[in-house]
Amino acid sequence: MAAADASKEASNNFVKAHFRRYYEQTKPILPDRFGRREFGFMFWTAGIVQRHLGFSREDELKSFLVSRVPAHVYYSSAYYEKPNASTMEEKGWLGADLVFDLDADHLPGGKSLSYPEMLEAVKHGIVKLWDRFLQTELGFDEKRMRIVFSGGRGYHIHVFDERVLGLGSHERREIVDFITAKGLDPQFIFRTVPFDKTEFKGSVRVKKLLKAPSRLDPGWAGIIAGGIEEFLTELETMDQEACIDLLSSYPGMNEESAASLYDNLFKVRVSKPRPIRGIDRVREGKIEALTDKNRDALARIIVTMEQLPLDDRVAISPEEIRKWDERRRRGETDEPVTSDIKRLIRMPSSLHGKTGLEVIPMTRDAIEDFRPLRDAVPKAWTDDAVRMNLKNKINLEIRGEAFNLASGVNDVPQFLAIFLAARGLASVVSEA
């Protein structure tokens, strides 16, 4: 046990020494309204945390980073009158940025992915959150938002639009509910509208039909309209057996009802002057062209898929979970982070103590080509050889180099050694 502890301590000291060198060489990226933020730090010993600190000058913060060498650096999403006050009551809350946090824990099936696969999947989720919801549906200007790679398993989006600064926890939670389709009501999406009225002997009879949403509709109706088109296109690419199998897997469906819906969608109804099927009518917005039973079934499937707890499904592989999730239009985010008006969030340009990677701020355009294991490896890390004892074999590409290493003692570049030591995948071999 003592040897293991000594090995861990040596590895921590190795990583910490290089963190100090990084902070000595690096100009910190200061958040907006820097002097109004609270700062917090986690250190290399579990449970050692320091917060309720404020800095008025950049050199004060840099001096702290170099002298104390924290494993993790955070600042508050909130602005305060007295950010360094020892209690939250004394700080004097002035407002807070709107912050979104997405990592593998929030993605269906994300825990089964390798680290590189996880980073790519989370990147796709953060782009969906930005494009579909924050920019398109909520109308935030891209100049008032910033994406930040966390240095670990995900990304953050900081919204510093003046309109959100005063929002309380309840209003922020409503934004999360909207993004994640919580409480989505099918009757709001598929509306019943009158289309004919007849009068006979003083009584009035109104005929109604179910109207499918349009892409031009605001909010979730328009979002769902796009989802219908994509779902129908996917069904067309499947053979009959696979299509019925998928349709029957949704709640409220079985093989018989799925076969009926399939037939109603794909059977040719009119052959001249061109073949017309039910699916063609639905694409035209005429969902009423289906039978009432199949119309209701399709509407139920479209809304239900947004709210299925995919990780709780049994007998389904991680690959299938991801396919199910890709059909959905909803976004994902960590609700407690977004609703918290006093949250501490990672500081850009700081280092992540469990990876040795840099916390990188970027624009929406920049994320397309961003590769964390290439672009977030600090330039301060060198190619100098370091002897490491690997717990297991490693197959990894980092900083553009591929490594396929056996367990046991290996000489690896410093940039890989720091990553492996920080993640607890290897330990430094002390020189004799």
Residues recorded for the chain: 432
CA dihedral 413, 415, 416, 420 (to 10 degrees): 130
Query: Phi/psi zone of residue 104: left (φ > 0), alpha (ψ -120 to 50 degrees), beta?
Result: alpha
Q: From CA 58, how far away is CA 65, in angstroms rounded? A: 11
Q: How far apart are the first and last CA of the chain?
A: 20
Where residue 59 falls (left for φ over 0; alpha for ψ -120 to 50; beta otherwise) is: alpha
Nearest one of 98, 307, 303 to 182, comparing CA atoms: 307
* 286-311 residues labelled b (16+ CB within 10 A) or e (exposed): ebbbbeeebbbbbbbbbbebbebebe
How far apart (Å, rounded) are the C-alpha atoms in residues 291 and 42?
61
Q: Point out the catalytic residue in the list 97, 280, 334, 340.
A: 334
Integer CA distances (angstroms), 24 to 67, 108, 127, 146, 185, in order: 9, 40, 33, 26, 55
Of residues 97, 103, 280, 340, which has the active-site annotation?
103
Residue 385, classed as helix, strand or coil, is: strand
DSSP E strands in 89-129: the ranges are 93-96, 98-103
Judge whether 384 counts as a catalytic residue. no
Residue whose entry in the numeric block shows the structure tokens 């079985």: 254
- CB count within 10 Å of CB 256 equals 10
Per the annotation, the verdict on 141 as an active-site residue is no
| Phi, psi of 64, deg, nearest 5 | -65, -45
Q: Catalytic: which of 101, 280, 325, 340?
A: 101
Is 105 part of the annotated catalytic residue set? no
d(CA 140, CA 86): 34
Q: Point out the residues that are catalytic.
A: 101, 103, 334
